[in-house]
Amino acid sequence: MTLCWGDSRLSNVLYGPDYSVLGALDWEIGYLGDHEADLAWLLLTDWVSSEYLSIPRLPGTPSREETIARYEAATGWPVRRLRFNEILGAVLMALALLRIQVVLGIGDLSAVAVARLDPLLSEGP
């Protein structure tokens, strides 16, 4: 078990002029858990924001494979449960999106749930 950020995505990182990391934002859902959970969330949010929407990834953004290799090299921990953590992340994302729709009173919730989860559970990121 390790400290998990809970919202590890590029938009929650502050960078300096030389692109060094200055800080990490949005720790309100931090928890103790599987060390691969943050890696899975990072990969999932990148995929949902780009490939899933048919939007090209930004030039210079490391590939999925490069990100995993860099994670393993930086932490010294092998990545073994990534698929589980990606599916868990997809479920958590779907629940958050469904909650937003309930609060705002928009959309067909059953269709949204299936549309959001189906691609992630079949082929996925």
Say what the pTM is: 0.78
> What's the structural domain count of the chain?
1
Work out the burial of residue 52: count CB atoms within 10 Å of its CB; fewer than 13 is exposed, 13-18 middle, 19 or more buried. middle
Q: What residue has token string 């030039």?
A: 59
Could you confirm whether 118 is annotated as catalytic? no
**Residue 31 contacts residue 65 (beta carbons within 8 Å):** no
Q: What does residue 15 show for φ and ψ, rounded to 5 degrees? A: -115, 150
Residue 88 lies in domain: 2-122
Among 7, 26, 38, 108, the active-site one is: 7
Condensed to tens digits (0 to 9), the pLDDT of residues 50-65 reads 998 999 988 988 999 9
Q: What is the CATH number of the domain that holds 69?
A: 3.90.1200.10
pLDDT value at residue 17: 96
Mean pLDDT of the chain: 86
The tens digit of pLDDT for each residue in 62-84 reads 999 999 999 999 999 999 999 99
